[in-house]
Amino acid sequence: MSTTPSDPLAALGDLPGVADAVDSVRKAVDRVYGHRVMRRRSNEVTAKAALRGARGSASLSGADWNLEEVRRRTDFSGEDEARIVGAALRLTAEAGQLLSIWRQSPLRVLARLHLVAAGGATPDDTVGRPRLAGEPVDEPLIEAPVPGADEVSGRLEGLSQLIIAGGSAPALVTASVVHGELLALRPFASHNGLVARTAERIVLIGSGLDPKSICPAEVGHAEQGRAAYVAAFEGYVSGSPEGMAAWIAHCGRSVGLGVRESTAVCEALQRGAA
């Protein structure tokens, strides 16, 4: 990765195509925030975006349920897919509560997210902490080599320091790096994809790009498909400028598709059809 030591995340914004992705996302988000429905019914749009985002994230983790099933179901215990959907819903609900803590202690937030995700599983001492040497990782979608515990610890600390320090990087760039780094590290024994996508959501909300959380990137990640998601992630793992730019652009398209989904929700609410 070619970056400057002073602000490595901001340096990623200079990669070819990244500025265009950032600009496209900003314009799309501004348009949906300007929709007339948002003046009085933004809470409804937020709630519907949360449900759709959770469904999309669960889909990428192997539980591809339709929206009506996610909305209808009340019991998320039992089979694996139900537990995945339940975890995604819990994480989406938790994300907005952790914004102030994220800015001060990202590692504490990540531990909390894993605890929330694993809430429906039998508790054990792997929950809510990074994995130790020799502990296995359950993340079937991501087949990249799993870094060792020492590397995970060092890179998590580096990511935390970047977030706490802030900087001038666009929100899309920071969110993409947080998402990609957590997928690459898979720091927990399970639920890493769900946690990574929730962390991306937290960055987008907390940065001010999407303060009402109405632009669910998870919808776009799911809509582009698991194969495209994995291919873009491989670009991130490569660390090459082209690969990093491709991953950021993929995340940008995902936000844009989330905007499209919420725009449709606004139109339906305006017609009285939602």
Closest residue by Cα to residue 32 from 23, 22, 42, 21:
42
**Angle value at C-alpha 118, between 122 and 139, nearest 5 degrees:** 105
Please give the structure tokens belonging to residue 179.
């998402």
Q: How far is CA 112 from CA 101, 115, 213, 252, in A?
A: 11, 5, 20, 26
Please give the structure tokens belonging to residue 111.
């531990």
pLDDT greater than 50 at residue 208: yes
CB-based burial, 179-204: b 16+ in 10 Å, e otherwise = bbbbbbbbbbbbbbbbbbbbbbbbbb
Give the pLDDT band of residue 23 (cuts 50, 70, 90): very high
Look up the pTM and report it. Answer: 0.94
pLDDT greater than 90 at residue 77: no
Could you tell me where the beta strands, DSSP code E, fall in the chain? none
Three-state DSSP at 190 gives: strand
d(C-alpha 139, C-alpha 109), whole Å: 20
Give the pLDDT band of residue 74 (cuts 50, 70, 90): confident
pLDDT greater than 70 at residue 123: no
- For 259-273, how does the pLDDT look when each residue is reduced to its tens digit (9 = 90+)? 999 999 999 999 986
Rg for the chain (alpha carbons), in Å? Answer: 18
